[in-house]
Amino acid sequence: MEIRRIRLNQGQTADNVLTFGDNDSLVAASVTKLSFVAPWCCHKLRRTMYLPYFQDEWKVTPTFTANLGIRWDYYGVANVPDNRTTVFDQNQFHGACLGSGSFNTPFPVPVNTAACPTNPALYRPNYRNFDPRVSFAWAPSSLHGKTVIRSGFGIYSGAAQNDDLNAGLESDTFRASVVAPTLGPAIQQEIPDLSAYTGTGDFSKAANHPRALQRIARKDQYVETWGFDRRAPIARRSLVFHVLSWEPWRPAVLTRCREPVPNSSRY
């Protein structure tokens, strides 16, 4: 039995992009456009993984050995201790639900829609990662035990990267774009003073920047492998063996964190 505990505290520094119309504007420090991403820290992601397994070897006959096993990988559901989340689900509650600690402002709620649950989960748990492992080794008596045939099959699941699961944590990031801003000395500051702008005219995206995370029918990544191996001496009484092997495999399959959300960015 293996148990893993993930504790991720992440943040972001301020990010400014200054655009100048021409070289003269650059020399005069006259900004044509400012794009600003506010800093934040720290968003907390926690999850616990439970990974029990069973595997053993049986000598079925003196010339045939089987190795059988199964592993269940449960990667848990990432959660946020202070509930600073914004969760999107157009199928369950037709919009966005805010955690009790979210910095987002309430969204308009369409009529005749289900109420938001309290602190909804970022996504649904996946209990279906049952991974079998089967292999055998056989030394046929007719070949005097000098030829060995081995074969095996296995499925290996894997947890997604933590960055694939944190969309609900980054949905309260403040972003702004200002055309022809009047900054003055503030152009040299890491965090510009945008208090004079009211969110109209040439001031856009003066709001949080939601990111979508798939909640339904989400799958974890996995790989399937097969193997076949035959070893036999090159000649009678020879200590040199030739090997014939075949190892196809199926690439990892992963349902990434994607779900269309109107007027939002997606990862």
Tell me the per-residue pLDDT of 67-106, one tens digit each, with 9 for 90 and over. 999 999 999 988 888 888 778 777 777 777 888 887 776 7
Residue 128 above 60 pLDDT? Answer: yes
Mean pLDDT, to the nearest integer, of 155-161? Answer: 86
d(CA 266, CA 9) in angstroms, rounded, equals 22
Per mean pLDDT, which range of 49-58, 157-166, 188-197 is the poorest?
188-197
Preceding amide of 116 cis, omega within 30: no
| pLDDT (mean) for 226-252 | 66
Tell me what the pLDDT averaged over the chain comes to.
75
CB atoms within 10 A of CB 70: 14
Of the candidates 257, 212, 255, the one whose C-alpha atom is nearest the C-alpha of residue 87 is 212
Give mean pLDDT, residues 128-152.
Answer: 90
Query: HSE (CB half, 13 Å, CA atoms) of 105?
Result: 5
8 Å CB contact between 208 and 172: yes
pTM: 0.70
pLDDT at 259: 37
Band the pLDDT of 257: cuts 50, 70, 90.
very low
Tokens of 147: 């030829």
Residues 103-119 pLDDT 10s: 776 766 666 777 777 77
pLDDT class for 49, splitting at 50, 70, 90?
very high
More confident residue, 223 or 161: 223
